[in-house]
Structures are given as structure tokens and as C-alpha cells.
Chain A
Amino acid sequence: GDSVTQMEGPVTLSEEAFLTINCTYTATGYPSLFWYVQYPGEGLQLLLKATKADDKGSNKGFEATYRKETTSFHLEKGSVQVSDSAVYFCALASTGTASKLTFGTGTRLQVTL
């Protein structure tokens, strides 16, 4: 079945540091890939997505590239801010008419001054 593996957290960085959160997946066919963010006490918000190989999703300075050859969708940001502190979830949705999101375990990011 489908699965998503994310790096274990928490990840603690100083403001303006470079961020990478690794994500790899297992799926049949050609899934769509997503990064969602959950701020404390809130629901999930879509951060970015990519729907085919070599697509790059980007938003708010975050980027991730759909790499089919390595089945990866790593999240990166060049310079994190304290306001980026949140839990980040990598997820996939397999092709087909009854779509569902399969999530990774989430990675907590803590950014300090």
C-alpha cells in the first residue's frame, strides 16, 4: 500500500538557517505529492504541491521537487523565521477516483532567535 516516510523531529534551527525536511514515498502509479503545515492549535494548511515528476512546488519561500527516480519530495527553505515554527506533514494522494491523503508522521520545526 501507499506510505510516506518523513525524518524524525523535532528539528531546531536558529532564525535565518537553511531548512531541509526529508520525505520519501511508496506508491503505485503516479501520485500527487503535498506538504501541509499545522500551526499550534490549528488545522492543516496546504503549503505546496506537485502533481507530476520534476514539478517544483513553491510557496512562502518553501520549495519541494517531485523526484520520481528517488521517490522523494524533500522540503527546503533558504532562511527560516520564528513564524515558521510548526509541524510539517508530507502527504501523497494516489491516482484514482476515490482519492485520500496518506500522511507521513509529521516533523516538528522549532525556530529560535
Chain B
Amino acid sequence: DTAVSQTPKYLVTQMGNDKSIKCEQNLGHDTMYWYKQDSKKFLKIMFSYNNKELIINETVPNRFSPKSPDKAHLNLHINSLELGDSAVYFCASSLLASSYNEQFFGPGTRLTVL
């Protein structure tokens, strides 16, 4: 069983569209994250939820809206997609929101905006 799964793996869409990426973890973790990896492989935190509560919200355009229906799921909805949103988006989870805990990453969703 995959520990952290994301769907879809690839997403190709036109500018201006709205799209969602889903993430699920079956590890029983309390904390989930979204990271963005740009074309130069640089990884940056976007959001984090702990037990369905938003605890980290970096300087991300408000076109990006995370939603956590329960602590096993963290979805990312993006409105009015722009060319600069093209990237690989990684979901991750950790047992607790603690610096000591390892984060487990999903396989990534490659978003291409045309």
C-alpha cells in the first residue's frame, strides 16, 4: 500500500482554468504539507495542516486554496491557472507537527500550464 498518494500524476491544462490535486496518506499521521518544486528542482513549502487545522501558510497567491476534509486528506485547488504555476507539487505527511519528525513524500503531481 502506498503511504502517501497523489492524483493525478500528470496534469496538463490551459491558462485560466481551475484544477485540483488530491493527496491521501494512510500512515495515521496528524500533519500534512504541500510543497512546490520548480523547474530548477528548488523545493518550497506552501501549506501545512495539523489535524485539519491550517498551521503554515507561506506567501502563496490566494488562487491556491488547500482543503483538509479529514486528517488523512489534503487537497490543493488552484484557480485561474497561470504559466508560472507549472511545477511539480509534492504532498507530504508527518506523525506530528514537530521538527524531529520525518516527513514522508508522495510521488508528486507534474502540472503543466499551457
Interface residues of A (CB under 8 A from B): 31-32, 34, 36, 38, 42-46, 49, 51, 87, 89, 93-103, 105-106
Contact = CB atoms under 8 A, between A and B. Distances in A.
A97 B55 CA distance: 9
Interface footprint category on B: 20 to 34
Given A42-B107, A43-B108, A97 B98 contact: yes
Interface stretch (B14-22, B35-43, B61-69, B70-78): B35-43
Nearest to B108: A43
A15 B40 CA distance: 26
Interface of B: 4, 31, 33, 35, 40-45, 48, 50, 55-56, 58, 90, 92, 94, 97-108
Contacts of B42: 103, 105-106
Contact of A98 (B4, B43, B48, B105): B48
28 contacts: A36-B105, A38-B41, A43-B4, A43-B90, A43-B106, A43-B107, A44-B43, A44-B90, A44-B92, A44-B105, A49-B102, A51-B100, A93-B99, A94-B99, A96-B99, A97-B55, A97-B98, A98-B48, A98-B56, A99-B48, A99-B94, A99-B98, A100-B56, A101-B43, A105-B40, A105-B41, A106-B41, A106-B42
